[in-house]
Amino acid sequence: MNSRHAAALALVSWCLLVPPIIRDSGNQPRVQPTAPLNEWRVYATFESRGQCEKLKDKIQEGERGLPSSEKNADLKREAAASLLCVATDDPRLKGN
């Protein structure tokens, strides 16, 4: 690996993303795990994918909850199940 490649890798960090929650036609909140990544909310950022995956696992295993303005526990569990770790240079974060 050359020094430019190593420097570029050092600049990449990781984001733990939460899918958007929208209201359907009946005004009920729903998790949108198929929404484009540029519509997801950044929950936390990390220096490595491993750190991101560790927090994701803790949340999904119930050791740590997702903060939410929604009171619906099922909705929070569904959002937690859809968490993603994505590199900050992932082009899907930029949208079209």
Over residues 59-90, the pLDDT tens digits come to: 998 877 776 655 678 888 899 999 999 999 99
Amino acid at 88: T
In the DSSP assignment, the letter for residue 65 is P
pLDDT at 72 (0 to 100) = 77
55 occurs within a structural domain: yes
11 occurs within a structural domain: no
Per DSSP, helices labelled H in 16-87 are: 49-60, 73-81
Confidence of residue 11 (pLDDT cuts 50, 70, 90): confident
Helix (H, G, I), strand (E, B) or coil at 4: helix
Confidence of residue 9 (pLDDT cuts 50, 70, 90): low
Q: What domain range includes position 43?
A: 17-89
4 occurs within a structural domain: no
Number of domains in the chain: 1
pTM above 0.95?
A: no
For residue 19 the two structure tokens come to 């899918």
65 occurs within a structural domain: yes
Tens of pLDDT, residue by residue over 14-40, are 999 999 999 989 988 999 999 999 999
6 occurs within a structural domain: no
Cα–Cα distance for residue pair 1/93, rounded to 1 Å = 27
